[in-house]
Amino acid sequence: MNPKGSTNKTPARSGGARPVSRFSHASTGSSAGTGGSRPAHGGHSRFSGAGRSAGPSRGGSFGGSRGPSRAGSFGGNRGNFGGSRNGSRGGSRGSGGGGNRGRAGMGERIDVSKFINKTVISEEIEVFKPEHNFTDFNISEQLKRAVIIKGYKDPTPIQDRAIPHILKGADLVGIANTGTGKTAAFLIPLINKVLLNPQESVMIIVPTRELAIQIDQELQGFTKGMKVFSVCCVGGAPIGPQIRDLKFHNQFIIGTPGRLKDLIDRKMIRLAQFKSIVLDEADRMLDMGFITDMRFVMAGMPKERQTLFFSATLSPEIEKLIGEFLKTPVRISVKTRDTSKNVEQDIVRVERGGNKLEVLHSLLNQEGFSKVLIFGRTKHGVEKLSVMLAGKGFKAESIHGDKNHSKRQKALNLFKDNQIKILVATDVAARGLDISDISHVINYDLPATYDDYVHRIGRTGRGTKKGKALTFIE
């Protein structure tokens, strides 16, 4: 794989009626009722955001175009390099030699060999045979139809094994690789729970607003016409509409820890009402320093509750939380390896003094780089790299913590809808996001930890599709 030459407005309501949707980028625009009755609708989320609907698509192909040659390891000539290492604070380095390691900032040292996993063509194909069909699960016929309409056929391993236990009310820890259907594994049985008892309340806590919005969109896709209501409570968005919507009963509240704690402090969320809670990507919430908020939420909930933990990685710190928050949980791990076998991994070596941007430019011009997610280390570096790529003629946008909510959603939706080719992001985009047909993930700056690497490259090669991950080593 040698680079060439080198390497919205809120719907009006009358009386006490509740507007259909104030999640402007997912609203279906149904009209509101009057006299305090709740309207039947499809969109059912009441999150005030920006942008437009861009629910994750499960269809489509990998793109059909061939990626770069597998021969070689990005050695080759890289011409004259000059200039600084753009998009990196302090730079990320790799040293030559046998047991060389990569290091980013003050992160852990990662053996470079972990970034290389060439695809081996084999006649032997592993085929997972689920023990259940979706029609076998003890869920309502209405929900079964919704699952079929969504295009779900056979359950994935985590769905096949987790759904029966969740339906029985068990606490559960589910570990599975990214892109294997963890969201549906907890949404389907919890939707069934609220259909059986519409007064049931479920809280889902995730580390990032993008993941919260995505889960809310997935929920909407399953519950059209079911009168199941949700509020998406995330930071960065106006809190006023969220406070307004929380005055009504919502079966699902989905949000990030900081905003949820704020709303709890304002007495807009009463934790005693929640008998089901999901922590998705719980290890990431620990990384982001949300442990105090997580403990605060758990302490306010009833002791008799159903608690579900889902993640792609399981750290010793998470093990402590499991012992603290869950009661004799069912443990399910369908993770066979750290990274998906569908992702071919390789490195791009940049010689000392080399121009990373020019190497990246050469790569992006190659055939097969049809939809590329590039990860940088810092917010400033990511923004700078995005501007530089746009200056070179690429359709590129950025997503990072310094961008406001509406701009982040706009960039994400443009990428989902294939209106831009490149999205440059910090690790805010590394967890849980389901974006169809990403051909390549490029680690322009090294991740801080190997777990971060696993999550980054999990954005490609999702489900049964193939993808490629490239990591720059200086």
Q: Domain holding 420: CATH number?
A: 3.40.50.300
Give the range of the structural domain holding residue 239, as residue numbers without chain letter.
Answer: 134-333
Per-residue model confidence (pLDDT) at position 331: 92
Give the total number of structural domains in the chain. 2
- Asked if residue 38 belongs to a domain, the reply is no
Q: Are residues 244 and 189 in the same domain?
A: yes
Q: Are residues 405 and 446 in the same domain?
A: yes
Q: What is the pLDDT of residues 183-207, one digit of tens each?
A: 999 999 999 999 999 999 999 999 8
Per DSSP, 137 falls in state: S
Q: Are residues 235 and 155 in the same domain?
A: yes
Find which of 229-243, 419-433, 451-465 is predicted with most confidence, using mean pLDDT.
229-243
Q: State the residue for tokens 């149904």.
A: 30
Q: Are residues 454 and 406 in the same domain?
A: yes
- Asked if residue 237 belongs to a domain, the reply is yes
Residue 119 has pLDDT above 50, yes or no: no
The whole-number average pLDDT for the span 133-159 is 92
Per-residue model confidence (pLDDT) at position 306: 97
**Three-class SS state of 210:** helix
Q: Are residues 419 and 454 in the same domain?
A: yes
Which tokens belong to 296?
């605060």
- Asked if residue 17 belongs to a domain, the reply is no
Of 412, 457, 436, nearest in space to 61 by CA: 436
Per 3-state DSSP, the chain is made up of helix, strand and coil in percentages (nearest 5) of 30, 15, 55
- Asked if residue 329 belongs to a domain, the reply is yes
Residue 298 has φ and ψ, to the nearest 5°, of -60, -40
Q: Are residues 194 and 276 in the same domain?
A: yes
Q: Are residues 156 and 302 in the same domain?
A: yes
Q: Are residues 111 and 183 in the same domain?
A: no
- Asked if residue 223 belongs to a domain, the reply is yes
Q: What is the pLDDT of residues 395-425, one digit of tens each?
A: 999 999 898 888 988 999 999 899 999 999 9
Q: Are residues 329 and 348 in the same domain?
A: no
Boundary-marking domain end, from 333, 361, 383: 333
